[in-house]
Amino acid sequence: MHEASIAESLIELAEKHLREGNHSAVSSVTVRIGRLSGVMPDALLFAFEALKGGTPLEGATLLIDVIPQGGMCKGCEKEFSFDGPYISECPLCGGAEFSVTRGRELEMTEMEVA
């Protein structure tokens, strides 16, 4: 449900970048949403479509890059991917010291403007 607030923030953020760059129209906005971010891409898309009317983003398409979960192990020093909400050990070497490096993204990355 908080996707509506996130879509609202995204539209405001895009408007700010449009103003700062003196752009008049925008045809697409691209965001990166990590699978661990708690945001559902479909719900964000729905909210964006519902809220963009009457804003400079009225004609814009929202493009969502879904970022899968990933981590970096301190033991074997390799990068790995994983599914699900959490892991308790490195899936490659079983080590307990690792950091989650991908999957928490909630950011705007680019816009196609005129």
Nearby residues of 89 by Cβ (< 8 Å), 6 or more positions away:
95, 96, 98
Least distance (Å) from other proteins to the CB of residue 11? Answer: 10
Stretch 67-106 residues interacting with other proteins (CB under 8 A): 85-86, 88, 106
Residue of 17, 41, 43, 61 interacting with other proteins (CB under 8 A): 17
Least distance (Å) from other proteins to the CB of residue 111? Answer: 5
Spell out a b/e string for 54-79, using b for 16 or more CB atoms within 10 Å of the CB, else e.
eebbeebebebeebebbbebeeeeee
Return the half-sphere exposure (C-beta side, CA atoms, 13 A cut-off) of residue 13: 16
Q: Is 110 in the site for other proteins (CB under 8 A)?
A: yes
Contact set with other proteins (CB under 8 A): 1-2, 5-6, 9-10, 12-14, 17, 21, 23, 31, 36-39, 85-86, 88, 106-114
